[in-house]
Structure 1
Amino acid sequence: MMSTLQDFLSCSDPNVRNVLLGTILLSTSSAMIGVLALLKRKTLISDAIAHAVLPGSCLAFLLTGNKNSIWLIISAFITGWLASIAIDQITTHSKIKLDAAIAIVASIAFGLGSFLLSMLQHNGQAGQGGLKSFLLGSAATLLQEDVVALLWLSGIIIVVLILFFKEFMLIAFDRLFAQSIGLPIKKINFLFTSLMVLAIVIGIRAVGVVLMSAMLITPSTTARFWTGKIAYIMLFAMLIAVFASLVGTFISYTIPSMPTGPWIVVIMSLIAYSSFLVAWCGRIFKKKRINIS
């Protein structure tokens, strides 16, 4: 076991290096976006966007005939953005509530994506192999060019989040005050939604449509159990994401039949449940101390 761990940490295998670096970049950027989405109460919207990415990826392959990463990302980004616009329009111009609008858009998008995926797999078109991995992801198939793309896109997300962190926080906590001091709220919201869609799009290859929303939501909600300060929530969420990526990738490296993406989500979920139990026991112990005193 120790020799296996040493081989894994040495990253001498290029495949392990690609998978580990790719999942760490993905989980870190997703965790940062997830914290802001949690504060802005947009966590459920990420699930609808993740489901809307699937038809975009299938349409890109249908139009181009190959699995070019650039076209897949562009097409998935467009359909993800259309999903967020659809949710906003439904809630604005009808009596349908946000949760129902998210369910409607997510179900329609996933149904359309499944239909296109099934059509592509049965039409005998060359090069369509591997498209089914968009459902649950396939981090083990990440290539060096995929990691380079992840590096650039994750870097863009992290840099923009750092530059506009104060503006995002101000709008999340006090929208009226932000409007009164002249902040361009619509433009900043547009920027944040674009970053969230981009974070989801780049993660589909690794963890898939079904699990991508968990990559955004789980680290941020788990960190919230341990601290109330925004900076610490962001830090803890990133550490949880990195730790889950390391453990999930190591499990997949040790047992090749185990998929990397789902195991990363499982580790995140175990940390989340453990944090909930610790917080719950802490509240009970605190109440008993108060009653005794």
Structure 2
Amino acid sequence: METWWLALTFRLGYNTSLVTLGTMLLGAGAGMIGSFILLRKRSLVSDAISHATLPGLALAFIVVGLIQGDGRWLPALLVGAAGSAAFGLWAVQRISERTRLGEDAAIGAVLSTFFAFGVVLITVIQAMPVSGQAGLTGYLVGATAGMVAAEAQLIALCALGVLLAVLVWRRSFLMVCFDAEFARTQGLHTGRVDLAMLALLMVVVVIGLKVTGLILIVALTIIPPVTARFWTDRPLHMVILAALLGILAGYLGVTLSSVTEGLPTGPLIVLSAFGLFFVSFLFSPRRGVLASLLAHQRFRRRVHLRQGLLAVARDEPIFDNLTLRILQRRGYLRRDGVPTAPGRAAARDAEHEERLWALYRECQPEDALQQEHSGLTPIASVLSPDAIMTLEAQLPPNGKQEARR
């Protein structure tokens, strides 16, 4: 725990602190651009891009290895991965545009083909007379712990650049995500905006290879935005929250990996992101499982209360145990089943509202269909005071209305 505390407070060493900051910036950029990709409903594209980086990464390693004897030169590897990812993205778009295949089928074809070609190239690399072959596998699952300061600085600078680009273009991205036709009428070139969005996604995937690896970097672009969606309905708030969740996932993952030597940093980052997702999934006040269960229970009690009050007003017997318990807990019913004075008053009010609503449906059937009044909320919160006064004036005596039915 002492080691973890030193890592959490950035006192474990220069390189560890630099890697932590770089990963946090990467998490912020991945969360922000991933939010727009999620809103654009193209989350699987990040999976295709990540797997398409492998052939370019291997080819760059081969070229650099043949030139200088060691293929582990990060700038060249990132350029190769970016070129391969760009070609894979272009292939997905061309296949989906020029054929009858959907984008999901194109992604599956490109993903499997590029990844298979990359695996073949890695096998070739293992037989080459160059050094550094073992380090290449770090780009598959991530090798943050073995990152040197120069690599961490490069990743931090690239992540910061992505973050600034997303901040500058966020409004254009949102317009295209929600209404591309309206964005086009406002003078935006939607094709270029989409291309910029995917280009930033590609940059995040490429610079994240050293942190989480090409297999797990997809999670960093999907899980934080999905987690943020549990907490807000506003797009910009979602983008900001996804960035913060990405920062927190990177911070927790890198620092946790420092507790014990040999712990994989990339998987811990993804597991931290999933932990945040799981907590949100359970406890989010809007869409969490616990909130949904509580809302269902509240709705159920309101239904039973309403039906019980109507039964009291109409002198009908009540047989449901839950209805009886609710009425007794509210003080509307005695233990022997006899309604109390407050219970009869509440029953008269419930019956009166039901009659008002029945009259409204009869007089204004089209408007009534558009209302969400189900008898579970006071009618005054659904209709205006003038409308209620008009209904009160037209409301016949109870006996006459029953005869009309």
TM-score bracket relative to the smaller structure = over 0.9
Matches within 5 A, 1:103-142: 103-142=108-147
Corresponding residue of 1:213? 218
Contact 1:15/1:140, CA 8 A, preserved across alignment: no
Corresponding residue of 1:158? 163
Corresponding residue of 2:151? 146
The alpha-carbon deviation at position 19 of structure 1 amounts to 2.3
The 1-side partners of 2:26 and 2:279 are apart by: 23
Corresponding residue of 2:3? 4
The 2-side partners of 1:214 and 1:10 are apart by: 25
Contact 2:141/2:216, CA 8 A, preserved across alignment: yes
The 2-side partners of 1:190 and 1:100 are apart by: 20
Contact 1:252/1:259, CA 8 A, preserved across alignment: yes
The 1-side partners of 2:55 and 2:149 are apart by: 25
Q: Does 1:69 align with 2:70?
A: no
The alpha-carbon deviation at position 183 of structure 1 amounts to 0.9
The alpha-carbon deviation at position 51 of structure 1 amounts to 0.4
Identify which range, 212-221 or 67-76, moves more after superposition: 67-76
The alpha-carbon deviation at position 186 of structure 1 amounts to 1.6
The alpha-carbon deviation at position 284 of structure 1 amounts to 2.4
The two structures have a TM-score, normalised by structure 1, of 0.95
Structure with more helix by fraction: 1
Identity of aligned residues (%): 29
The alpha-carbon deviation at position 12 of structure 1 amounts to 4.1
Q: Any idea what SS the aligned residue of 2:145 has? A: helix
Corresponding residue of 1:257? 262
The 2-side partners of 1:204 and 1:218 are apart by: 17
Residue-by-residue CA offset, 1:170-202 (whole Å, 9 max, x unaligned): 011010011112211222222111111001000
The two structures have a TM-score, normalised by structure 2, of 0.69
Contact 1:219/1:238, CA 8 A, preserved across alignment: yes
Structure 1 residue ranges (4+ consecutive) displaced by more than 6 angstroms after TM superposition: none
The 2-side partners of 1:231 and 1:11 are apart by: 34
Corresponding residue of 2:272? 267
Contact 1:25/1:154, CA 8 A, preserved across alignment: yes
Contact 2:4/2:256, CA 8 A, preserved across alignment: no
Q: Any idea what SS the aligned residue of 1:141 has? A: coil
Corresponding residue of 1:29? 29
The 2-side partners of 1:250 and 1:148 are apart by: 18
Contact 1:30/1:216, CA 8 A, preserved across alignment: yes
The 2-side partners of 1:5 and 1:136 are apart by: 22
**Aligned partner (choices 242, 253, 257) of residue 237 of structure 1:** 242
- Structure 1, gaps ≥5 residues long: none
Corresponding residue of 2:296? 287
Corresponding residue of 1:55? 55
Contact 2:144/2:210, CA 8 A, preserved across alignment: yes
Q: Does 1:45 align with 2:45?
A: yes
The alpha-carbon deviation at position 105 of structure 1 amounts to 0.8
* Larger radius of gyration between Structure 1 and Structure 2: 2
Contact 2:26/2:204, CA 8 A, preserved across alignment: yes
Q: Any idea what SS the aligned residue of 2:136 has? A: coil
The alpha-carbon deviation at position 46 of structure 1 amounts to 0.2
Name the count of aligned residue pairs: 292
The 2-side partners of 1:116 and 1:5 are apart by: 39
Q: Any idea what SS the aligned residue of 2:258 has? A: helix
The alpha-carbon deviation at position 250 of structure 1 amounts to 2.1
The 1-side partners of 2:226 and 2:175 are apart by: 20
Q: Root-mean-square deviation (CA), in Å? A: 1.5
The alpha-carbon deviation at position 92 of structure 1 amounts to 1.2
Letter aligned with residue 194 of structure 1 = A
Identify which range, 7-16 or 23-32, moves more after superposition: 7-16
Contact 2:22/2:155, CA 8 A, preserved across alignment: yes
Matches within 5 A, 1:157-236: 157-236=162-241
Identify which range, 52-61 or 247-256, moves more after superposition: 247-256
Residue-by-residue CA offset, 1:72-103 (whole Å, 9 max, x unaligned): 11111111111111111111111212222111
The 2-side partners of 1:12 and 1:27 are apart by: 21
The 2-side partners of 1:5 and 1:97 are apart by: 47
Contact 1:27/1:241, CA 8 A, preserved across alignment: yes
- Structure 2, gaps ≥5 residues long: 66-70, 303-405
The 2-side partners of 1:116 and 1:40 are apart by: 34
